[in-house]
Amino acid sequence: MHCVAFRTALSARVDGEELPPEVSGAALDAHLRECAECAHWGDRARRLKLLTAGLGGGGPDGDGTYGI
């Protein structure tokens, strides 16, 4: 399966949505273990999600810096 299919699934997971039917959670986890690029992409997506979520209601630690 192509990386793009896993990234679609990863994006859904980050957003708290259901994974596409063609990608199981186990298959996604297995791919992330062997594909550094997708693992890195997932990290970025998660961080971006946190940052954009923070824009609405302040950071989880109250200062909005997230340690950056």
CB of 21 to Zn ion, least distance (A): 19
Task: Please classify residue 14 by burial: count the beta carbons closer than 10 Å to its beta carbon, then call 0-12 exposed, 13-18 middle and 19+ buried.
Answer: middle
Task: Please classify residue 6 by burial: count the beta carbons closer than 10 Å to its beta carbon, then call 0-12 exposed, 13-18 middle and 19+ buried.
Answer: buried
Question: Phi and psi (nearest 5°) for 29?
Answer: -60, -40
Residue (5 or 59) nearer to Zn ion, CB: 5
Q: Which of residues 9-68 bind Zn ion (CB under 5 A)?
A: 35, 38
Does 3 interact with Zn ion (rule: CB under 5 A)? Answer: yes
Residue (39 or 51) nearer to Zn ion, CB: 39
Binding stretches for Zn ion (CB under 5 A): 3, 35, 38
